[in-house]
Amino acid sequence: MATTLEPPTGEAAPPSAAPSQLGLERDAERAESRRGFLIGLPSLLYLVLFFAIPLGIVFVYSFGNRSRTGRTILGDWTLSSYERLFSSLVMQITGRSLGYAILTTVVCLLVGYPFAYYLATRPPKVRGILLVLVMIPFWSNLLVRTYAWRVILGSDGPLVQVLGAVGFTDVRLLFTPFATILGLIYGFLPFMILPLYASIERLDFSLVEAARDLYASGWEAFRRVTWPLSRPGVIAGSILVFIPSFGAYVIPEILGGSRTTMLGSYVVLQFLSARDQPFGAALSMAILAVMLASALLYFRSGAKDVG
């Protein structure tokens, strides 16, 4: 690695000017840089090994061909997998996934914001207890908790029985889009609450008081002070909810009964059933692009507003 630490010629200070001091400074800088590199090395290796290389393989495979037997032929590169992304079926599934993910994000925000606000304005002791309550679901696996929803929503489950008692008979909840979206909201709500809490908690409430002193109504003070200042939390929370909802696989499979295919399931189908790895890889790359684009868009719009 030593060679890469050589400063590029353009930036280099003239070595002859004050050799001893500059040399010392440079040594310190080098040592600092080397230490930083060493500290970062394990995570760097981890990312390269388990993220960059696999992603590279997916990228390469997406240009491959499916042999008649379902093997992936590399070489003879083609864009045909990417062309299939524009078929009406893929469009339909993408539209559904987008719709579900947006709805999930909006509901999580509507439910999560008041809760995070409440949380952040409690005395520290209560706050601690409430925070633990938010995180308790993480103590058990999402898969287990999603299966529990199967029982709750099942046709002999408590929810259907309550609905039946108040006059809604023959209601079906399990294996409907409602069940899928409910599961997504349930699964990802903490990811909305925690960043919201973090940014509201940091908010200087004397600013809100100042707004009120200047005769701003409660709503006005929220709109012009609290909301803009909590925007970073809104953005972070929305991205943390939107991205996993868009690519969700486990929740729609378990609660949707596979009647509402989302993109995640369609990708799995390519690998485990159609044995069409190039198309599955192309789909994955497309999902990645959509996520990246929406995250960038969101960050940019957020950054502008916050100033």
93 is a contact residue toward other proteins (CB under 8 A): yes
Query: From CA 42, how far away is CA 63, in angstroms rounded?
Result: 31
Q: Which of 30, 96, 127, 212 binds other proteins (CB under 8 A)?
A: 96
Helix, coil or strand: residue 72:
strand
Q: Which is nearer to other proteins, 79 or 210 (CB)?
A: 79
Q: In the numeric block, which tokens belong to residue 259?
A: 């009647």
Return the residues of window 224-283 that contact other proteins according to CB under 8 A.
Answer: 257-261, 266, 269-276, 279
302 is a contact residue toward other proteins (CB under 8 A): no
9 is a contact residue toward other proteins (CB under 8 A): no
Q: Nearest approach, Cβ of 188 to other proteins (angstroms)?
A: 22
98 is a contact residue toward other proteins (CB under 8 A): no
13 is a contact residue toward other proteins (CB under 8 A): no
Residues 267 and 287 sit within 8 Å (Cβ to Cβ): yes
Q: Nearest approach, Cβ of 232 to other proteins (angstroms)?
A: 25
Q: Which of 69, 124, 169, 214 binds other proteins (CB under 8 A)?
A: 69
Q: In the numeric block, which tokens belong to residue 75?
A: 């070489």
Query: From CA 156, how far away is CA 208, in angstroms rounded?
Result: 49
Q: Residue 65: beta bridge partners?
A: 73
Crossing angle of helices 53-61 and 277-306, in 10° steps, is: 120
4 is a contact residue toward other proteins (CB under 8 A): yes
- Per DSSP, helices labelled H in 2-18 are 2-5
Q: Which of 13, 37, 133, 305 binds other proteins (CB under 8 A)?
A: 37
Q: Binding segment for other proteins among 2-10, 102-110, 192-200, 222-230 (CB under 8 A)?
A: 2-10
Q: Which is nearer to other proteins, 141 or 258 (CB)?
A: 258
Query: From CA 122, how far away is CA 50, in angstroms rounded?
Result: 41
Find all residues with CB under 8 Å of 29, minimum gap 6, and list them: none
Find all residues with CB under 8 Å of 165, minimum gap 6, and list them: none
Query: From CA 167, how far away is CA 183, in angstroms rounded?
Result: 25
60 is a contact residue toward other proteins (CB under 8 A): yes
36 is a contact residue toward other proteins (CB under 8 A): yes
Would you give the end-to-end CA distance of the chain in angstroms? 40
Distance, CA of 186 to chain centre: 15
70 is a contact residue toward other proteins (CB under 8 A): yes
Q: Residue 72: beta bridge partners?
A: 66
172 is a contact residue toward other proteins (CB under 8 A): yes
Q: Which is nearer to other proteins, 182 or 235 (CB)?
A: 182
Query: From CA 253, how far away is CA 89, in angstroms rounded?
Result: 18
79 is a contact residue toward other proteins (CB under 8 A): no
Q: Nearest approach, Cβ of 7 to other proteins (angstroms)?
A: 8
Q: Binding segment for other proteins among 45-53, 109-117, 181-189, 242-250 (CB under 8 A)?
A: 45-53
155 is a contact residue toward other proteins (CB under 8 A): yes
Helix (H) or strand (E) holding 73: strand 72-73
- Tell me which DSSP letter residue 66 carries: E
Taking the CB of residue 201, how many other CB atoms lie within 10 A of it? 15
Q: Which is nearer to other proteins, 27 or 220 (CB)?
A: 27
Query: Which residues are near other proteins by CB under 8 A?
Result: 1, 4-5, 7-8, 33, 36-37, 40, 44, 48, 52-53, 56-57, 60, 66, 68-71, 73-75, 87, 89, 92-93, 96, 154-156, 170, 172, 174-175, 257-261, 266, 269-276, 279
